């Protein structure tokens, strides 16, 4: 069993409490964004930038003994909250588990329906980049 699935289930249970209350859902995401520590300015460079987002999202990763540690930041709160949510799933996980994981959580927590296509595309690119780092 992929250990990421356990974290996924916890998050799904947490989001289930919000029901159809989109404001509560977004307040939670915004809070996650605020809690995620900023990355040093030296990492806010184009080579860490994720393309396809209206706001800027930077993602950096370290791999030690096949275990991934990601660092992310954004100049907007909601994208920062979304990437913080993704990092809850993938940080300290083995690269092969990350590569296997399908990120179906996005549909399951009912986030896609509230995301504009531009942002949805950004989200797709965030996931792609997370996997890219795990692959390298």
Partner 1 sequence: MSPVPDIRKQFPFITQQSDKIYFDNAATTQKPYAVLESIQNYYTRINANIHRGVHHWSILATEHYEAARKTVAQFIHAQDPSEIIFTSGTTHSINLLADCLSNTYFQQNDEIILSVLDHHSNILPWQNRANKFGYQLKYAHINAQYQIDTEHLKSLITRKTKLIAIAHVSNTLGSINDVKSIIDYAHQHNIPVLLDAAQSIAHFPINVQELNADFLAFSGHKMYAPTGIGVLYASKKFHHWLQPLSSGGGTIVDVDLYKAEFAEIPLRLEAGTPHIEGVIGLKHAIDFIYQNGGINQFYLWEEELRKHLYSNLTELQDDIDIYTDAHTPSVPVISFNIKNNHPYDTGTLLNNFGIAVRTGHHCTQPLMKHLKIPGTVRISLAVYNTLEEIDRFIIALKKTIKMLK
Active-site residue, selected from the candidate residues 53, 86, 111, 126: 53
Size of the site for partner 1 (CB under 8 A): 18
Residue with tokens 């179906």: 104
Q: Is 21 in the site for partner 1 (CB under 8 A)?
A: no
d(CA 28, CA 15): 9
Residue 34 or 92 having the CB closest to partner 1: 34
Question: Which of these segments, 58-66, 75-83, 92-100, 127-135, binds partner 1 (CB under 8 A)?
Answer: 75-83
Residues 68 and 115: beta-carbon distance below 8 Å:
no
Is position 53 annotated as part of the catalytic site? yes
Q: Which two three-digit tokens encode residue 87?
A: 């990092």
Q: Mind giving me the DSSP string for 44-92?
A: -SGGGBPTT-SS-EEEEEEEETTEEEEEEEESSHHHHHHHHHHHHHHTT
Closest approach of Cβ 70 to partner 1, in Å?
21
Catalytic sites, residue numbers:
53
Name the site residues for partner 1 (rule: CB under 8 A): 22-23, 26-27, 30, 54-56, 74-79, 114-116, 119
């Amino acid at each position: 069993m992929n250990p990421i699935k356990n974290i996924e289930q916890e998050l799904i249970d947490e989001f289930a409490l919000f029901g159809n209350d989109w404001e509560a859902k977004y307040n939670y995401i915004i809070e996650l964004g605020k809690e995620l520590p900023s990355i040093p300015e030296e990492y806010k460079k184009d080579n860490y930038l994720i393309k396809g987002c209206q706001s800027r999202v930077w993602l950096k990763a370290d791999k030690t003994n096949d275990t991934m540690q990601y660092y992310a930041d954004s100049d907007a709160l909601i994208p920062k909250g979304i990437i913080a949510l993704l990092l809850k799933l993938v940080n300290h996980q083995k690269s092969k588990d990350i590569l296997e994981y399908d990120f179906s959580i996005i549909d399951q927590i009912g986030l896609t329906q509230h995301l504009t296509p531009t942002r949805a595309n950004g989200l797709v690119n965030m996931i792609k980049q997370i996997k890219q780092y795990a692959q390298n």
